[in-house]
Structure 1
Amino acid sequence: MMQQRAHILSGEQKPRSQTQRAASELRRMIVSGELPAGSSYLETELAEMLDMSRTPVREATLMLEAQGLLEVRPRRGVKILSISPEDMEEIYQILTELESLAAERVAERSTSPEMLEPLREATQRMEDALARDDREAWAAADEDFHTRLVELSGSARLKSVIANFNDQVRRARALTLYIRPAPTKSNADHRALIAALEKGDAALARKIHREHRIAAKSLMISLLSKHGFHQI
Structure 2
Amino acid sequence: MDATVIEDGERPPTRIQRENREVILEAALTAFSGHGFRGTTIDEIARRAGMSKTNLLYYFRRKEDVYRAVLERTLDEWLAPLEALNSDGDPVEELRRYITLKLRMSRRTPEASRLFANEILAGAPVIRSALETRLRGLVQEKAAVIRGWVGQRRLAPVDPVHLIFLIWATTQHYADFAPQIRAILGDQVDQPGFDDQAAQAVLTIVLSGIRPRTDAG
Same fold (TM over 0.5): no
TM class by shorter-chain length?
A: 0.3 to 0.5
TM-score norm. by structure 2 comes to 0.37
TM-score normalised to structure 1 length: 0.35
